[in-house]
Amino acid sequence: MENRQEILLTQFNEILSIRKPRTDDSIDGAYADLGIGIHKICKSTVCSREISETHRAIFCKGCGLRIVIPKEIDTYAKLNAWCQEQIAQQKKQEEFTSMVADWIKYLHRTTKDHETRISFFEMRAC
């Protein structure tokens, strides 16, 4: 049985399955072009390639999943930490967006109630 490790890449349960590196934890270099792991959903090879001076992309050859990461993310440990941070930030953003939407609904409802009360009092004054 192979010794495998899983890295949760996105909040949508996209998982990279890798053989635990024997000595080197690097996702850099020629090995990256051969494949850094397997996309657990579609069972295809995930590769890593430079796309700019500052970033690289990890991408699935099967389904096209593509995640742009900073070049500093050059080990599996750093990739795991970075992905967890991105997922946490996404959750915070979604919670904030939901809170703002609820607040807007509340203000809209309160404003309508206020307009109704004003209209009622204006009608009584006539």
Helix or strand holding residue 4 (H, E): strand 4-8
Give residue-wise pLDDT tens across range 23-67.
Answer: 566 776 545 556 899 999 999 999 999 999 999 999 999 999 999
Q: What is the pLDDT at residue 102?
A: 84
Helix (H, G, I), strand (E, B) or coil at 96: helix
Q: What is the pLDDT at residue 1?
A: 44
33-42 as b/e: b if 16+ CB within 10 A: eeebbbbbee
Q: Where are the domains of the chain?
A: 4-89
Q: What is the pLDDT at residue 30?
A: 44
For range 2-19, the mean pLDDT: 88
Q: For the chain, what percent of residues have pLDDT higher than 90?
A: 52
3-state SS string over 53-79? Answer: CCEEEEEECCCCCEEEEECCCCEHHHH
Give residue-wise pLDDT tens across range 76-105.
Answer: 899 999 999 999 999 999 998 988 888 888
DSSP string, 6-62: EEE-STT--EEEEEPPSS--B--SHHHHH-SEEETTTTEEEEEEE-SSSEEEEEETT
For range 105-121, the mean pLDDT: 63
